């Protein structure tokens, strides 16, 4: 079946640094990818919709200058957490699909900011 990969699977960084997370569709092209954030024991919250070749659409309350999204190709979207702080520590998950009606989720990236 379709596979979506994320890299890295986990990352630890110092406060103030930036971290880039990649989301790749391995056997299909995706014009749209979605980024979610999951806090411990809580549901996934949609952060933004990543659109190939255009600007991402952010959900209310998500800082677009804090969470930079780049969807430079039909198989890759990146989420950059800029000037990361401890409160940004979380589990970040992407989804992608050949169609919006069918989405496959990546395994997630666990970020810990010290």
Partner 1 sequence: GDSVTQMEGPVTLSEEAFLTINCTYTATGYPSLFWYVQYPGEGLQLLLKATKADDKGSNKGFEATYRKETTSFHLEKGSVQVSDSAVYFCALSEGGSQGNLIFGKGTKLSVKP
Q: Which residues contact partner 1 by CB under 8 A?
A: 4, 32, 34, 36, 41-46, 49, 93, 95, 97, 100-108
Closest to partner 1 by CB, 69 or 108:
108
CA–CA dist 22, 1 (Å, integer): 20
CA–CA dist 82, 14 (Å, integer): 12
Up-side HSE of residue 60: CA atoms within 13 Å toward CB? 0
CA distances in angstroms from 37 to 26, 43, 73, listed in the order given: 22, 8, 22
Least CB distance to partner 1 at residue 88 (A)? 20
Closest to partner 1 by CB, 14 or 53:
53
Closest to partner 1 by CB, 49 or 80:
49
Least CB distance to partner 1 at residue 38 (A)? 9
Least CB distance to partner 1 at residue 107 (A)? 4
CA–CA dist 10, 101 (Å, integer): 29
């Amino acid at each position: 079946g379709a596979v979506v990969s994320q890299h890295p699977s986990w990352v630890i960084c110092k406060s103030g640094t930036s971290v880039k997370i990649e989301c790749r569709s391995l056997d299909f092209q995706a014009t749209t990818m979605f980024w979610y954030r999951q806090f411990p024991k809580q549901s996934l919250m949609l952060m933004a919709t990543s659109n190939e070749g255009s600007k991402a659409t952010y959900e209310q309350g998500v800082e677009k200058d804090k969470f930079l999204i780049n969807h430079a190709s039909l198989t890759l979207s990146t989420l950059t957490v800029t000037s990361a702080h401890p409160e940004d520590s979380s589990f970040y998950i992407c989804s992608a699909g050949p169609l919006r009606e069918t989405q496959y989720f990546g395994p997630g990236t666990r970020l810990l900011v010290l």
